[in-house]
Amino acid sequence: MRSRAKRVGIIAGTVPAVFVLLVAGCSSTPPADDTATARRDWVTCISNAVKAQDDGVSDPVIIADGIEPQCAVQHENVIQVASQGLMTDAGKAEARRVFTEGELQLVTSAVMAYRATRGPSSGSAMP
């Protein structure tokens, strides 16, 4: 069985980039200040949680899975702001689906990006 990390398809450093691409793809985007604030708050929450919880050894997906609920309020705000300009319930549901399905991948990417800035871990389980 493939590990959860492989199924997630990790791409380091994509939290802000993917968010911008998703919001830019909306037909009618919310005000830039709202979008920037929501994104900044979510990314800050994730960054702070990663710094506090990452031991440099544990599976990044496990770390990310524990961080997701801690930043749920900020993530929900991102979804709400990003879907403001969508006219139909189907459009709003699709935006929610896209943001929710990609959340674990984005948080995992934040863990991996943080590790990359710290360099190799001295407690690594890798040979």
Tokens representing 105 are 């991948």
Using CA atoms, how far residue 14 sits from 91, 103, 110, 119, in Å, is 24, 11, 8, 19
- SS3 state of residue 57: coil
Reported as a single tens digit per residue, the pLDDT across 36-83 is 899 999 999 999 999 999 999 999 999 999 999 999 999 999 988 888
Q: Can you tell me the distance from the alpha carbon of 69 to that of 71, in angstroms, rounded to the nearest whole number? A: 5
Name the phi and psi angles at 3, rounded to 5: -70, 160
Number of independent structural domains in the chain: 1
Boundaries of domain holding 78: 32-116
In a domain, residue 18? The reply is no
In a domain, residue 108? The reply is yes
Task: Output b/e per residue, 49-79; b: 16+ Cβ within 10 A.
Answer: bbeeebebeeebbebbeebbebbeebbebbb
Confidence of residue 33 (pLDDT cuts 50, 70, 90): confident
Q: Which of 95, 110, 105 is nearest to 45 (CA)?
A: 110
Supply the pLDDT for residue 105: 93
Q: Look at the pTM and tell me if it is higher than 0.75.
A: no
In a domain, residue 36? The reply is yes
Percent of the chain clearing pLDDT 90 (strictly above): 46
Name which residue leads in pLDDT, 125 or 88: 88
